[in-house]
Chain A
């Protein structure tokens, strides 16, 4: 059973408009959430994160919103640019054995920004 779910495998958005990527989780012990971006033939790169004590974190064009009661987070990209076209992974973090924080990932959403 997936603890982190990204139900939309793909999303297409026009350049300049807002992209909204969604993520749901089931484990209430997660206390840190991250978004990663992945281009083909590269490893995922960290984009933005949010602690469970916050409901919003903004970094330039990227904003992550967290709704703990709904166990839902979303990534907003505005304005969207063609270079944002990539696979976006949602990840959740909680302390595990040996104090090594593990990340549990969703299956990713392919974002395509159309010029």
Chain B
């Protein structure tokens, strides 16, 4: 597989459940990101990992817990979510050195519905 792969594509969970989102990149990038996309809103940066180290936590509630075991894998652990957390969660990766295109490569996202 190539690119950035996210699983599952769709997830419905109750407010008391615990679930995890998974992201895997096969591009040799060293930075990975979690973004949240709610309807009619900008993509909101949640977490940044650079060389497996978390370098940014954008005031995200503790019910979202990221994990980055290596530069190729990123997880988002979810527990006791609220209905307003329903959104599309996007993972992205990028290469952080050099002066070329700094664009991210995104996965297809996980559509999360909290009931």
B107: Cβ under 8 A from any A Cβ: yes
**Residue B101, interface by CB 8 Å:** yes
Given known contacts A96-B56, A98-B50, A100-B50, A105 and B108 CB-to-CB distance under 8 angstroms: no
B43 touches A89 (CB 8 A): yes
Within 8 Å CB of B49, what residues of A?
100
Chain B residues 60-107 with CB under 8 Å of chain A are 90, 92, 94, 96-97, 101-107
Beyond A44-B90, A93-B102, A97-B56, whether A104 also contacts B108 by CB under 8 A is no
**Centre residue among A42, A46, A102, A104 by max chain B CB count within 10 A:** A102
Residues of A within 8 A of B35 (CB): 105
Measured between beta carbons, the chain B residues less than 8 angstroms from A67 are none
The reply to whether the CB of A82 lies closer than 8 angstroms to some CB of chain B is no
Q: Which residues of B contact A77 (CB under 8 A)?
A: none
Residues of chain B lying within 8 A (CB to CB) of residue A44: 43, 90, 106
Q: Is B55 an interface residue (CB 8 A)?
A: yes
Q: Which of A4, A34, A89, A101 has the most CB of B within 10 A?
A: A101
Task: Give the distance to chain B from A50, nearest Cβ to Cβ, in Å.
Answer: 10
Contacts of A103 in B (CB 8 A): 45, 102-104
CB-nearest residue of chain A to B97: A99
A34 and B96 in contact (CB under 8 A), knowing A41-B108, A98-B55, A99-B50? no
Known: A45-B106, A99-B96, A102-B56. 10 other contacts (CB 8 A): A43-B90, A46-B105, A89-B42, A97-B55, A98-B51, A99-B97, A100-B55, A101-B31, A101-B96, A103-B104
List, sorted by A's number, 23 A–B pairs whose CB atoms are closer than 8 Å: A32-B102, A36-B106, A43-B6, A43-B92, A43-B106, A43-B108, A44-B90, A44-B106, A46-B105, A96-B55, A97-B55, A97-B56, A98-B55, A98-B56, A99-B50, A99-B97, A100-B48, A100-B49, A100-B50, A102-B45, A105-B43, A107-B41, A108-B42
Question: Residues of B at under 8 Å CB distance from A?
Answer: 4, 6, 31, 33, 35, 40-43, 45, 48-51, 53, 55-56, 90, 92, 94, 96-97, 101-109, 111
